[in-house]
A and B are shown apart, each in its own frame.
Chain A
Amino acid sequence: MTPRVLVVDDDTALAEMIGIVLRTEGFEPVFCADGTGALAAFRESKPDLVLLDLMLPGIDGIEVCGRIRSESGTPIIMLTAKSDTADVVKGLESGADDYMVKPFNPKELVARIRTRLRPAPEPVVETLAVGDLTIDAAGHEVRRGDERINLTPLEFDLLLTLASKPQQVFTREMLLEQVWGYHYKADTRLVNVHVQRLRAKVEHDPDNPRIVMTVRGVGYRAGATT
């Protein structure tokens, strides 16, 4: 089955070109040219991944991102012409998994998409425990007691990566490599923003984390099992 990618971009030439690249690489592209119709297109096409331009006519990309995220954990990669801090961080905070700054090359684009779509590695163990959470690795589920916690695939990956080696401290660079698939130094803000989003979902008190602990000056590690 070919993975379906929804391309939301108002520049038809770019969208078409991305479509050509994606088709060559074995994806099925679906297009939407504005922010207003993006959500409808998303619901209709049920894509496996969304490529979302940040500047869109109608509703802007950040808003679209937030709305998609509120109803689905589908991976979202933002396309942005601005690498300026504020916009990128806003996009990540509204739920985008990753971002690409224009102009990008086709190899980069495809690599980013594949990383987000790769099947989770076959888990070594069926279930893991971190803090008062139970992670069902095979079933892609996180539970606190009987309550199921809804995580996006990226957040699940992040939590699973940390929980699978509870003794180890992960630097941001290690997480960028293992969760995002970056093999060179990338933007560590990706890690910071997503750790915040994950904490907001799994911690009792996000300001006083017990599940995803910060190791000052180094990175993060999983909290002790309780």
Chain B
Amino acid sequence: MSAADTSKLLAAGPWREVPRRLAALWRRSLQFRTVIITLGLSGLAILVIGLYISFSVASNLFQAQRESVLEASNNATAAAQSILDSSAAADRASLQSLMGDAVSTITSISGSSDYAIFRAPGQAVNTNAPPDQLSRGLGGVITPELRQQVQDNPGGQYWQSVALTNADGGTDPGIVVGSTLNVPAAGRYELYLGYNLAEAEETLAFMQVTGIVGAAALLALLSAITLVVVRGVIEPIRETAATSRRLAAGDLGVRMPERGEDELATLAASFNGMADSLQARIRELAELSVMQQRFVSDVSHELRTPLTTIRLAGDVLYGQREDFPGPTSRTVELLHTQTDRFERLLADLLEISRYDAGSVTLATEPTNLVHLAGDAIESMHELAFEHGSELRLIAPGGHLDADVDPRRIKRIVRNLIGNAIEHGEGRPIVVAVDSNETAIALSVRDYGMGMTEEEAARVFDRFWRADPSRTRTIGGTGLGLAISLEDAVAHGGSLDVWSKPGQGTVFRLTLPRTPDAATVVSPLPLEPDDPAAAGPPPTGATGAIEAELAEREVHDA
């Protein structure tokens, strides 16, 4: 599946189709699957690594910030304390001014403008003591716990992470550091300094964004690389698949290009080896088939020429048989009839070999099957009469010109009638022709001895006889029905048999009216509606041809 197919597959159809299509893509495209797996696994790895880096950088950054904040705060506290210590101020105004000096020192050294100064609780009330100060940024962020810690340990330094309100009204992460100042003549004061860490957080966010963008780019790159690598492997496989398809479709000359010495080259080489031997084998078979056809043709020539001589000689002798003494005369007669039989057998053998070699072509022309059946009946009338069977033609339909090879169809009809006469036990034989939209059919029904199911299943086998002890009275070659079946199949039709012991036999030929008819329903039933009858109902007609003409008149009227 190419990238174009993939995008088409994804773009086409409503959105609820997408999961199904993706699943189909997953199943059908190795390339898609490989890329997705690569993407998933490397994405997971990058996520883990990215999170780790992000956390450790964030924690390092915070620690460094905190160290510097604590140091700055410590320095500011120390500087303020030394200012306070060196002062001797005792009245209210000088204490106020001293506190102002200390605060300005603190803000300049600490680098933070957010500060809070509270007079530590639990001391004697001193009206001279400077008041508490709280800059706006620190409003509400100093927790009682921090204050408690600072109050409990006047020499220590304590910090706490807080959210500082910034100028936009939002909050920034920050640290509040608490320490203690001793103001002479005013008592202990708590000093809190707030540091805004927004800048550090921005740095961190920038780093994270960079990391994510980098990871995405890396993933895209990985996908692209996988795609290219997989395509490098898939493309030859796809090519192999396409080549095998063409080979399977019959293009035996197709080969794969063999490049280099890698596994794919080995695949191509072994594929080509397979194709070579396949082609050789098929060519061998084709040659064999051509040889077979040539052999049949040669046998035809080689056998027919001496047979012609025998035939001529036999006929010359046969013409003079009255002049020979009894046994010699009979010998000449036997020679004559057996030469005839041999000739028919040879003709049938060659015909069936032609079918076996697939070298049969139909010479179709518009043919009226009713007329054809009538002609066949007429030509076999005498033979039927000799066996005591009456031939009847019933043609409710089929008065149309069908495109068939009349020579072959007539051969089938004569064959079926001949069979019916031979096995009909002197009872009437009914030939029926009918047609519908898709097909035209002809059936031959006798009321003779019939066959068992097992026997009926074998009637189309070559040289098969229902009863081996019975001789062929009409001189069939044993190939007649096999050839008839081939003739029917060559027309795209079928030849079916129904038979019951003691009830007779029906052979039904069905031919499609057009060669490309998909489903064909035979216009005639295979199983007769009077299976047990000993013969057809009397029609009053005296002969087959009359019956046919009567039918024809009815339908032409």
Contacts and interface: CB of A to CB of B under 8 A. Distances in A.
Nearest to B310: A103
Contacts of B300: 81-82
Given A24-B316, A85-B361, A105 B301 contact: no
B316 A102 contact: no
A17 B301 contact: no
B308 interface: yes
B306 interface: yes
Contacts of A21: 312, 316
A55 B315 CA distance: 24
Given A14-B305, A20-B316, A81-B304, A103 B361 contact: no
Size range of the interface on B?
Answer: 10 to 19
A98 to B, nearest CB: 16
Nearest to B311: A103
B306 A105 contact: no
A111 B297 CA distance: 28
Interface in B350-387: 361, 363
Contacts of B310: 103
A11 B305 contact: yes
A18 interface: yes
Contacts of B313: 17
B343 interface: yes
A82 B316 CA distance: 24
Nearest to A13: B309
Per DSSP, chain B at the interface is helix
Contact of B297 (A20, A82, A85): A82
Nearest to A55: B301
A81 B302 CA distance: 8
Contacts of B343: 103
A104 B316 contact: no
A109 B306 CA distance: 16
18 contacts: A11-B306, A13-B309, A14-B305, A14-B306, A14-B309, A14-B312, A24-B316, A81-B300, A82-B300, A85-B361, A102-B307, A102-B308, A103-B304, A103-B311, A104-B311, A105-B315, A106-B312, A106-B319
Interface in A2-26: 11, 13-14, 17-18, 20-21, 24
A107 interface: yes
Contacts of B315: 105-107
Interface in B282-318: 297, 300-301, 304-313, 315-316
Contacts of B363: 85
Contacts of A105: 311-312, 315
A41 B297 CA distance: 29
A81 B311 contact: no
